[in-house]
Amino acid sequence: MKKKFTYDYPRPAVTVDVVIVTREKKPRVLLIRRKHKPFAGMWAIPGGFVDMEETLEAAARRELFEETGVRTSRLQQLHTFGDPGRDPRGRTISVVYLASVDPRKLKPVAADDAAEVAWHDLRHPPALAFDHADILACARRRLREKM
């Protein structure tokens, strides 16, 4: 039996990612080491799936806090990434947020899906999971435009 308001076409999953960049002469980005498949052991931008009852920004703040213990006052929507093959688990669209922070005011701690959390050079990050290298390239372009 068909559920009310169910559509006949497939629906993608929606995720959020949060690029946290330091306000320093040589900016760094906060990355997590993934605890689970896919890409277990690789570095990634903090993020995860959006719950049905939450806004995109609320999901971004929740995922950032759950994985890193970090809270930030200002998030700016950076871009939406939706290439069909970006996630091996299935069709996933990610709304990405960007925040600039003073790293002296933060004490990141790995939790939830993160095995580790660390600051990395924004211009020369390690190999990244998913399409996160493309996401960081987009963030670098946005930051250059602001300068």
Task: State the catalytic residue, choosing from 24, 54, 66, 116.
Answer: 116
């929507």: which residue's tokens? 77
Residues 129 and 43 sit within 8 Å (Cβ to Cβ): yes
54 included as an active-site residue: no
Strands 92-101 and 13-22: parallel
SS3 143: helix
Residue by residue, DSSP assigns 78-130 as EEEE--TTS-TTS-EEEEEEEEEE-GGG------TTEEEEEEEESSS---BST
Active centre residues (catalytic): 116
